[in-house]
Structure 1
Amino acid sequence: MTERSVDTTRRALLGAVAGGAAAGGFLGPVRGYLSAFAPLSGGVWDAASDDPPLRIASDHGDATLRYDGAAVPRIEADGEAAIYFAAGYAHGADRLFQMDLQRRQMRGQLSAVVGEATLDSDRFHVRMDFAAAADATWDLVRDTEAGPLVEAYCEGVNRAREDLPTPVEFELLDYEPAPWTPADVMLAEKQIAWTLTGSFRTLRRETLRAELGADAAETIMPRRLDHDAAILGHAGATDDWARPDGDASRLPPATSDAENETDRAAVGTDPGLDGWLAGVEPPAWAGSNSWAVGVDHTDSGDPIMANDPHLSLMAPPVWYEQVLRHPDYQVRGVTFPGVPFVIIGENDRGAWGFTNAGCDVIDFYEYETRADGAEYRYGDRWRSFETETRSIEVAGAPDRDVEVKKSVHGAVLSAGAGGDEFRDELGVAWTGLSATNATNGILGITRSRDAEDIDEALREFDEPTQCFVYAGRDGSVRYRVTGRVPIRRTDGELVPGTRVFDGSAREGEWAGYTPYGESSWEGFIPFDEMPHDDDPHYVGTANQRVVDDADYPYYLAEDYSEPFRGIRLWERLDTLVERGDVTPADLRDLQRDVHDGRLEHYRSVLEEARSELSGDARDDLDAVLEWDGEAERGARAPLLFVHFLDAYEGRFVADALGDLDGRRDASAYAPNRWALATLGDEWFDGGRASAAADAFEKARERIEAEGWETYGDYNRTAIDHPFDQSWLNYPRYPTDGSAATLFNVRVEAGAGSSWRQVCPMDGTTSRCILPGGNDGNVYSDDYDSQLRRWANGEYKPMDRAMRGDLAARFVGGDGE
């Protein structure tokens, strides 16, 4: 790993620190909070120059660690414990600050190093008690096959922590990282599960129902978007996909929205609670693409699979790439820093990927209370809330006490204020609050030799709910929705999870669920009855609806992503398969597709706006209407279009939602871009045409004020370090794509394709790319070395050979 010029970097650092406050973004609430750097110290420069020892003693046997030209560690050993010890060492060397910051966020310990600005985040994470859920998960995993490997990995992280200079970020914030523990590994898994499945949409929808009425709530946040792009039931599926074979008498009947309503009136959440939760809710944009084409439709006669998960774009990236070589398997792919096993990738027998399934695995409960809120009724009994006062350490300020409160359902959240007209205290049930065994599921996938091994591994994969796509070198293809999905029951009858439940009346119960303990999962959709398809002709996922309700008897989800990517994926994939002889190049080209389907969906809205415009504004609108929908960096039309969409949503929020009972951010209640296009005149002051014309004018004004000429002037790689200093941030490169294209770039949200892989099963080399660099050391030439290629839609080889510069030999015993 080469170094940047220390003198140049020193000047940049001096300028950055002298320039004042640091502001940055890191998976949520850290942005804008890191305002105080520690004084410069010699340790900052030590981090740039010290090399790791080449021989390192290990209690787990011999292993070799090499780094290739893209800073990807390649690790080889005869024993798995030796491999994962070395992997831990590499993670600790390359990503320790990222790992520690994520850990602090989930444990509610950011304020200890950041100060008062992160107190809301810390209070939420302490009250949810993700740390206790991680402890319960480690208690479950400890004595399984994965347990010793997790322990060896943590030993490797801590050895690097001891051997190597402290990363520069710790020097700047003036604190030392604590040892990495197995519970921290479990906590990292909880973090991504919460990012993908934690959602307060049910609360927002019920608040809309209380404030505007049931019809308005259904119009603004519809449960079903009108499209035909569901994942299952498409032409590529087999004849027996997804249809459960169990006893039909126990399956819930299909129900309409009207039948789902209860007699209880909708009650909005307290504005204080609503505002607090809005600041800590995971982003709604988390999604991904994946697809696989079977043997009958490829040029080689072997399947091909592709995956690109859409997550935060960060410096360093959310993923860490690694190659692990064992006598029984060789695997390459990505994991989350702090987690030992490859999560998305390829071994010598097959390749796999994940996309978010959107399943509803969280519910909310209100209670009848007494004894000043210390007790709650649960059925015919009164119970005491489990309560505990914990202290949150705050840098530069007094510590704060927070009450951690729990019920039979899980965490109990409140903003500490509110009246009878609001729900100001809610119980939260979430599958991730229970002990889960995804760790062994991922290990099983890594070790898999065929599709049957994959099937068995996925039985252990209980969080998060994901669409899993696999292609094997034996010709097999798999699609399955993974994870535990609850079957809710009220008085023995099955109900959907679309309302806040009366916890005291024991509505919406999950049989077999134990928060902060080990669940039996007996009241959840059985594994064999989850949506799946064995050996489909071809399959594609883009976070759209998994299956139509009429074809599947269980309630899966309250909401799915906008279907623009799913529709485009099926259009392109159908065409490729109909043509035949699909190649890896075809699927890489599909991953680079930048057609924005929102243009046709909004065409009638734009045409109505045209009559309200004149002169240059009408000319610009005509250019958008004549545009082919390709979101390319050199064009002007996509620049106008995406800013029109933003302004049009803003106009809807102002006209239809107003201050929405004084809530902090009414835009959180805005419809998605699919539903927004369907709203008529009654939702806009002065009608839809006038609102659209006004939005188009505002888009033009913003573009002129910013000095943008083409889409690429705006659509750039704005990927920043948490400290948001120029010397730490990645370069800005123009790129193609939008939030609604398969080549996914979400500039305003700081998100997009966080990893791309295309894996043919014919023996040719797979291809991949990261949005940045694998090395988290800002002094390394590999800190951002892949970013330009990522922005340009290029790839690098994804081989599993043992090559590169020797970094360390791990030797048994004392290393002599």
Structure 2
Amino acid sequence: MGAFALGAALLSPQSPAAAQSPATVQQAAAVAADPVTDHCQGQCADILPPGQNGNATLADILGNKIFGTFPAHASDQLSRYDSLVAGQSGLTDAKITDFFNDASFGVPANQVESVISPRPDVTITRDKKTGVPHIQGTTRYGTEFGAGYAAGQDRLWMMDLFRHIGRGELTSFAGGALANQGLEQQFWPAAPYTEAEYEAQITYIRTTHGARGEQAMADAQAYVDGINDYRQKAKNGRYFPGEYVLTGKIDSITNVGEIEPFKLTDLISIASVVGGQFGGGGGGEVQAALSLLAAQQKYGVVKGTEVWESFRQRNDPEAVLTLHDGSSFPYAVKPANPRGTALPDAGSVTAEPLVYDRTGSAVTAARAAVSVPEELEPARGIFDDGVLPEGTLSAKKGMSNALLVSGQHTASGNPIAVFGPQTGYFAPQLMMLQELQGPGISARGVSFAGVGMYVQMGRGQDYAWSATSSMQDITDTYAVELCEPSGAAPTKASTSYLYRSVCTPMEKMERKNSWKPTTADSTAAGSYRLQVWRTKYGMVTHRATVGGKPVAYTSLRTTYRHEADSIIGFQMFNDPSYVKDAASFQQAAHHIGYAFNWFYADSRTAGYYNSGLNPVRAADVDASLPVKAERAYEWQGFDPTANTASYTPFAQHPQSIGQDYYISWNNRQAKDYDAAGFGYGAVHRGDLLDDRVKALVARGGVTRASLTRAMAEAAVTDLRGEQVLPALLKVIRSAPVTDSALNTVVQQLETWRTAGSQRKETRQGSRTYTHAAAVRIMDAWWPRLVEAQFKPGLGDSLYNALTASLAIDESPASSHGPTGAHSGSSFQYGWWGYVDKDLRQALGDPVQARTPETYCGNGSLTACRDTLLASLKTAAAVPVKEVYPGDESCSAGDQWCTDAIIHRALGGISHPTVNWQNRPTYQQVVEFRSHR
């Protein structure tokens, strides 16, 4: 018997929803009516590619691998999401649901696919078109139980993966594939908790947040109970995810084996992965210090610091801002007279090892690429044991975008929003759609799998909300002075440190993992030990000397030991008795500890609030650089026991209600509000949105379709071509180009720029770009251009240090940078602002916040032009197969495929490759017509 036939014989391919009897389905009409008034009145839409269903039986997986088939609703949103690339130009309000799903509350009687009642006090109704669960409870417990049950139906395997990722136990659970090693090595070191510490976080929420905290944990327990009810039924009924068989957890013939019960502490583990991935901010101070030292070594302390600050761009007046009304929200600004800064001695910094005692295939993995956490770029998926590709869930991601226009500028007079989180492309998605209706809960939208007791981004009865990662600085680096308990002289290897003048031992946090080959993963047996040293100032990331004294650099974020505290804010978002307007929404958002930009729209107002546990730092501490671990430089009110401190109050967070429009694409929030990193200067991908929305507002009469078109056009535009190429061409055309072949190249770039600098097919499905030659030239030119423009003036050491602080490029074709290849998200990190400002200085054009040096041609326009032309000529001659060298998914020279979005498998199902587009993974288009 073949593998597929064996799988079909042993495991039922039907889910419980698919197996409903006709009588049960007919019964759904009575329970699926809208439970509340829907004030969107058909004008709310959303989409979540590839589809809602993220569970697959063994038969489903084998069918996908052998025949390319999919379980119901596993891939039914992908083609419409993809088709907006070609359909954007003709988009009208009437055609929005050609590319998005109707996001109205409830399920019309003629659209009911199935209905089940796992308990008498809750029903789960799924619609025919998307299979989204609409959960309606008569009790609070039943509602949350239903949410957990539906999560089990749609994401059981993924939730199991993520609770093990958070605990640093993925390889022992799912096998030693290089991808799995990368995932647990990336996430566990940031939150290496014991079970007692997970429990302590639950207790903290219950005891610190009053009645809402108690309710949140009761809701979470009901959610877990629902997951476990489904888990047990699926196991007994043999319709559980097939990955449990493929990884050897359950025997396919005898059904012997177990899916471990879920616990409340698992939710904390999952939250630590999700929050750390998308809601962190700051860090990187050690690398910043190294680039500052390199600048000081080249130019001297005074000018070197000035040069470094020109690249750090803390408060560049040319940077695009979400709050463009001139309002100022000072935070983490550069102090006039910084104190407590702990710069390392030159050449003394070493990264702290993470992996020890490798055996078997772990040794092979070490040779392949696995190293310290900052360097990890996990692979395509759980079942890939090949070479580690760059960027699946890397440490620094911003992602997500938002476009909102206030009612005075729309055709209807109601605010319009097009927004959503850009969380990457996975199979299945990290998020799942749901509608929750029950006592104190009324919302539809997405939640991260495993922490979906509330809708995290979506819509309520008469309002909608979404978020972008804001990345303001909530993570600091401390230099803890090392010591020896015996009083002997310490070394960089010492494992004790001075805490408030007392020599204190570090805590050794460990995970010992071993694995054997499985059906899913042919990686040979192996093992290793993960080890992190923990101090009261966080985890050790590097060691160095400062002024000759050995120190350990540690990383401490405010949300450490508070991974799930944000549950209170999400609870409020879902509570129609709490959120009644933009102001109450802002108050709810203030309860989110993670660093996010929150956007709100109802029929009357649009609003914005920046959340995060922003620590109140000691006076004159420079948050961009490492600081001495001494009491005088600690966060104000710092208590390491539960990692609490004093935080900036509500009024000091960037916020607004009723601004003419808002955009966000992980750009800076407001004047004087530091974005905690390099690259927030004259050119940012936020400009792609800001320029378009500003123009729409100036014309007036904005509609859902016109705002969606603005987003969709920006999503296929090359930032370099639109924002930087005009200055490049101005320099080049400052004199005639006498080389005819090179002039032809310049003309190709000019034509592309005039046409909109897009990376878009000639026609849908052609897999060939309209301006393929110009796109290829730009992809080849950019890295050569940046190096030719800056490296001669900066010198090798400083140039390399600065490129380590900020990658040169993150085009869709780039396989480096935080998001890696085939990930959709592009142009967040790069040197485009540096190039643009430097060229304008060389041209003598107006420049705000001029840099102390002009690097292109050393300030000579003629020499600058020669530099550009020489690098362009070199780039134009690079063969297409070198520009697009190919990978495991694409042939060398395939430009379209190199850009294209490929869903990274976290289970046994894979999805088709689709067009590159730089847009949210889950996206809403909303315009409310009325209000309660």
Q: Do both proteins adopt the same fold according to a TM-score greater than 0.5, normalized to the shorter chain?
A: yes
Letter in 2 for 1:673: W
Shift in Å, 1:336: 0.6
Shift in Å, 1:180: 2.2
Structure 1 residue 453 and structure 2 residue 584: aligned? Answer: yes
Which of 250, 258, 263 in structure 2 is aligned with 1:181? Answer: 263
Letter in 1 for 2:617: R
Residues 97-496 of structure 1 mapped to structure 2, 5 A cutoff: 97-112=157-172, 113-115=174-176, 117=178, 118-119=180-181, 122-123=184-185, 125-132=187-194, 134-142=198-206, 143-164=213-234, 165-175=239-249, 177-196=259-278, 197=280, 200-213=283-296, 214-215=304-305, 217-225=308-316, 227-234=318-325, 241=327, 255=335, 262=341, 267=346, 270-273=349-352, 276-280=372-376, 282-326=394-438, 330-340=442-452, 341-371=454-484, 373-395=494-516, 397=525, 399-414=527-542, 425-435=552-562, 437-448=565-576, 449-451=579-581, 452-462=583-593, 464-473=594-603, 475-489=604-618, 493-496=619-622
Shift in Å, 1:424: 7.7
1:576 and 1:49 mapped to 2: Cα distance?
42
The 1:306–1:260 alpha-carbon spacing in structure 2 relative to 1, beyond 3 Å, is farther
Shift in Å, 1:518: 6.0
The 1:540–1:386 alpha-carbon spacing in structure 2 relative to 1, beyond 3 Å, is same
Letter in 2 for 1:72: V
Shift in Å, 1:697: 3.3
TM-score by length of 2: 0.65
Residues 742-781 of structure 1 mapped to structure 2, 5 A cutoff: 744=918, 752-762=919-929
Are the aligned partners of 2:185 and 2:373 in contact in 1 as well (CA < 8 Å)? Answer: no
Per chain length, whose mean CA-contact separation is higher, i.e. which structure has more relative contact order (CA < 8 Å, sep 6+)? Answer: 1
> What's the secondary structure of 1:287's corresponding residue?
coil
Are the aligned partners of 2:403 and 2:663 in contact in 1 as well (CA < 8 Å)? Answer: yes
What are the superposed Cα offsets for residues 721-756 of structure 1, whole Å, 9 maximum, x if unpaired?
146x8xx32112334x4xxxxxx1xxxxxxx52111
1:598 — aligned with what? 720
Structure 1 residue 702 and structure 2 residue 827: aligned? Answer: no
Are the aligned partners of 1:206 and 1:268 in contact in 2 as well (CA < 8 Å)? Answer: no
Structure 1 residue 528 and structure 2 residue 651: aligned? Answer: yes
Shift in Å, 1:259: 5.7
Shift in Å, 1:338: 0.7
2:668 — aligned with what? 545
Deviates more, 1:679-688 or 1:324-333: 679-688
Shift in Å, 1:760: 0.3
What are the superposed Cα offsets for residues 134-165 of structure 1, whole Å, 9 maximum, x if unpaired?
54432223452211111111111122222123
- Paired-residue identity, %: 19
Letter in 1 for 2:216: A
Which of 498, 503, 507 in structure 1 is aligned with 2:624? Answer: 498
Are the aligned partners of 2:481 and 2:551 in contact in 1 as well (CA < 8 Å)? Answer: no
Are the aligned partners of 1:316 and 1:721 in contact in 2 as well (CA < 8 Å)? Answer: yes
1:720 — aligned with what? 904
Deviates more, 1:599-608 or 1:644-653: 644-653
Are the aligned partners of 1:433 and 1:515 in contact in 2 as well (CA < 8 Å)? Answer: no
Shift in Å, 1:510: 1.3
The 1:106–1:647 alpha-carbon spacing in structure 2 relative to 1, beyond 3 Å, is farther
1:761 and 1:174 mapped to 2: Cα distance?
50
Structure 1 residue 566 and structure 2 residue 662: aligned? Answer: no
What are the superposed Cα offsets for residues 484-534 of structure 1, whole Å, 9 maximum, x if unpaired?
111221xxx23231111121x346411234457262x42x21122211113
Unaligned stretches of 5+ residues in structure 2: 10-56, 65-69, 74-112, 207-212, 250-257, 297-303, 354-370, 378-393, 485-489, 517-523, 763-769, 809-829, 839-854
2:231 and 2:348 mapped to 1: Cα distance?
45
1:799 — aligned with what? none
Are the aligned partners of 1:43 and 1:171 in contact in 2 as well (CA < 8 Å)? Answer: no
Are the aligned partners of 1:98 and 1:337 in contact in 2 as well (CA < 8 Å)? Answer: yes
1:16 — aligned with what? none
Letter in 2 for 1:109: E
Letter in 2 for 1:194: G
The 1:128–1:358 alpha-carbon spacing in structure 2 relative to 1, beyond 3 Å, is closer
2:443 and 2:617 mapped to 1: Cα distance?
39
Shift in Å, 1:277: 3.2
> What's the secondary structure of 1:568's corresponding residue?
helix
What are the superposed Cα offsets for residues 264-305 of structure 1, whole Å, 9 maximum, x if unpaired?
566567354496132248454422211322232222222222
Shift in Å, 1:98: 1.8
2:7 and 2:559 mapped to 1: Cα distance?
42
Letter in 2 for 1:86: G
> What's the secondary structure of 1:564's corresponding residue?
coil
1:69 — aligned with what? 129
1:699 and 1:606 mapped to 2: Cα distance?
23
Shift in Å, 1:687: 4.5
Are the aligned partners of 2:462 and 2:930 in contact in 1 as well (CA < 8 Å)? Answer: no
What are the superposed Cα offsets for residues 160-199 of structure 1, whole Å, 9 maximum, x if unpaired?
2221233122222223543222222233222222123255
Which of 631, 634, 637 in structure 2 is aligned with 1:512? Answer: 637
The 1:50–1:478 alpha-carbon spacing in structure 2 relative to 1, beyond 3 Å, is closer
Are the aligned partners of 1:335 and 1:344 in contact in 2 as well (CA < 8 Å)? Answer: yes
1:93 and 1:657 mapped to 2: Cα distance?
57
Are the aligned partners of 2:116 and 2:124 in contact in 1 as well (CA < 8 Å)? Answer: no
Are the aligned partners of 2:405 and 2:416 in contact in 1 as well (CA < 8 Å)? Answer: yes
Unaligned stretches of 5+ residues in structure 1: 12-39, 245-250, 738-743, 745-751, 765-816
In the alignment of these two chains, the number of paired residues is: 689
Are the aligned partners of 1:487 and 1:494 in contact in 2 as well (CA < 8 Å)? Answer: no
1:645 — aligned with what? 782
The 1:253–1:556 alpha-carbon spacing in structure 2 relative to 1, beyond 3 Å, is closer
1:230 and 1:662 mapped to 2: Cα distance?
29
Question: Please, what is the CA RMSD of the aligned residues?
Answer: 4.3
Deviates more, 1:418-427 or 1:441-450: 418-427
The 1:556–1:283 alpha-carbon spacing in structure 2 relative to 1, beyond 3 Å, is closer
The 1:366–1:704 alpha-carbon spacing in structure 2 relative to 1, beyond 3 Å, is closer
> What's the secondary structure of 1:698's corresponding residue?
coil
Letter in 2 for 1:232: L
What are the superposed Cα offsets for residues 74-116 of structure 1, whole Å, 9 maximum, x if unpaired?
1112223212211211211221222222222221112213227
What are the superposed Cα offsets for residues 699-721 of structure 1, whole Å, 9 maximum, x if unpaired?
75535877899964543232231
What are the superposed Cα offsets for residues 364-407 of structure 1, whole Å, 9 maximum, x if unpaired?
11222122623212343332323355433444656544444322
> What's the secondary structure of 1:324's corresponding residue?
strand
2:660 and 2:799 mapped to 1: Cα distance?
51
> What's the secondary structure of 1:377's corresponding residue?
strand
Letter in 2 for 1:76: Q
Shift in Å, 1:206: 1.3
1:273 and 1:676 mapped to 2: Cα distance?
34
Structure 1 residue 680 and structure 2 residue 856: aligned? Answer: yes
